Amino acid sequence: MVYRILGKTGFRVSLVSLGSGGHSRIGLATGKTAAESVAVVRQALEQGINLVDSSEIYGTEELVGQALAGWPSHKIILSTKGAVTQDNRLKTARQLEESLENSLRRLQTDYVDIYHLHAVRPADYDDVVSELVPVLQKLKRQGKIRSIGITEAFASDPTHQTLRLAVKDDCWDVMMVGFNLLNQSARTRVIEPAMQKNIGILDMFAVRKALISQENLAAQLSVLYDKGLIDPDALDIQHPLADVLTSSGCRSLTELAYRFCSSEPGIHSILSGTGNIRHLHDNIRDIARGPLPEAVRDKLVGLFARVDCVSGQ
């Protein structure tokens, strides 16, 4: 496993990290038992993954807590998130503190390494900074959280309005950004400015739904084609990226998608959101094969250079 330093946090994090949300929720959303979900997390740790991400809204914090029980906490970078609204209003300081306390209880810990404000909408951003960030700064001083993060709602904010604002501020240690080969717009809007400030960057949506299969990808590409955002002469929509896959040496579309993200300067860790142990092993092995050949990466950068309207959701 490759490890990288997560920006200004100084945390040494595995290049592959385990997400317990998304469409899979470590298997809870795909028919797995709680015991099987716990086994996915344990297997991830055994394979060298040291960053596990959850949220108060995923319903997976308790299982992550069970899986991590007994694992030395200094070997884990534990990340979770709190929503910024409750009953359609911005949380009060007390509500946010209660959210964290509940997460700590479910995770069976007295601190988390990264506490993110979850899926912050652009319209809420200014209030979040003035009302909730000071609460997190206090919790950081108290040692209940070791760093302060923010995530975007990539499916509804594929142009990164929230993180474009956030990257101008100095209060964030970590950002979780949507970036994949279909929508690379975070590169110049979020990741490069974040590198200037040494902000830790976690990548989500590397595969999501659109990059799981050729069928899903073809459906996504036809949307982009209809919008005039991709060149049909450069891309065979019936057999999407078949030529790129061959020249890349990748064995699957998911390998191409994960390795595209692992090739991206400024990304410290790629969240893989799986509840399937075979997929977990495949993804770790695939990402360990290293960056894509430069010509393949350049081709993918060129093919999707104008896309910023889809997330791959």
What the block records as the tokens of 24 is 């899979």
For ligand NAP, which residue of 9, 14, 22, 201 counts as binding (CB under 6 A)? 22
Nearer to ligand NAP, 46 or 294 (CB): 46
Could you give the 3-state DSSP secondary structure of residue 115? strand
Distance CA 111, CA 265 (A): 30
Q: How far is the CB of 137 from ligand NAP (least distance, A)?
A: 21
H-run or E-run covering 200: strand 200-204
Q: Show contacts with ligand NAP in window 83-122 (CB under 6 A).
A: 118-119
Residue 282 as a binder of ligand NAP (CB under 6 A): the answer is yes
Quick one: CA dihedral 85, 87, 89, 93, positive or negative? negative
Look up 58 and say whether it is catalytic.
yes
Least CB distance from residue 263 to ligand NAP, whole Å? 15
Give the per-residue contact string, 284-313, with ligand NAP (x = CB under 6 A; - = no): ------------------------------
For residues 93 and 212, which CB has a smaller minimum distance to ligand NAP in the complex? Answer: 212
Q: Which of 19, 82, 158, 266 binds ligand NAP (CB under 6 A)?
A: 19
Pairing status of strand 148-152 against strand 174-178: parallel
CA dist 266 and 190 (Å) reads 10
Q: Which is nearer to ligand NAP, 220 or 274 (CB)?
A: 274
- Residue 232 identity: P
Footprint (CB under 6 A) of ligand NAP, residues 260-279? 271-276, 279
Determine the Cα–Cα distance for residues 190 and 24; give it in Å rounded to an integer: 26
Q: Which of 161, 162, 21, 190 is nearest to 84 (CA)?
A: 162
57 binds ligand NAP (CB under 6 A): no
Query: Cβ-closest residue to ligand NAP?
Result: 19
Residue whose CB is less far from ligand NAP, 89 or 251 = 251
Among 47, 103, 151, 183, binds ligand NAP (CB under 6 A): 151
Q: Which of 58, 115, 125, 258 is catalytic?
A: 58
Strand 148-152 vs strand 114-120: parallel, antiparallel, or unpaired?
parallel
Q: Report which of 250, 287, 155 is spatially closest to residue 209, judged by C-alpha positions.
A: 155
Q: Which residue in 11, 179, 205, 304 binds ligand NAP (CB under 6 A)?
A: 205
Contact 309/57 with Cβ under 8 angstroms?
no
Determine if 23 is a binding residue for ligand NAP (CB under 6 A).
yes
Look at residue 11 and give its three-state secondary structure. Answer: coil
Separation between Cα atoms, residue 82 and residue 117, nearest integer Å = 5
Q: What residues pair up with 269 in beta bridges, in sequence order?
A: 202
Q: Write down the least CB distance from residue 233 to ligand NAP, Å.
A: 29
Question: Looking only at residues 233 through 252 of this chain, which bind ligand NAP when binding is defined by CB under 6 A?
Answer: none
Closest to ligand NAP by CB, 94 vs 266, is 266
DSSP-assigned letters across all residues of 263-275 = TSTT--EEEE---
Q: Is 212 in the site for ligand NAP (CB under 6 A)?
A: yes
**Cβ atoms within 10 A of the Cβ of 89, count?**
10
DSSP-derived pairing of the beta strands 89-90 and 12-14: unpaired
- Told to check if 208 binds ligand NAP by CB under 6 A, we report yes
- Smaller CB separation from ligand NAP, 30 or 43: 30
- Give the footprint of ligand NAP on this chain (CB under 6 A): 19-24, 30, 53, 81, 118-119, 151, 153, 176, 204-208, 212, 254, 271-276, 279, 282-283
Question: Any idea which residues carry the catalytic annotation?
Answer: 58
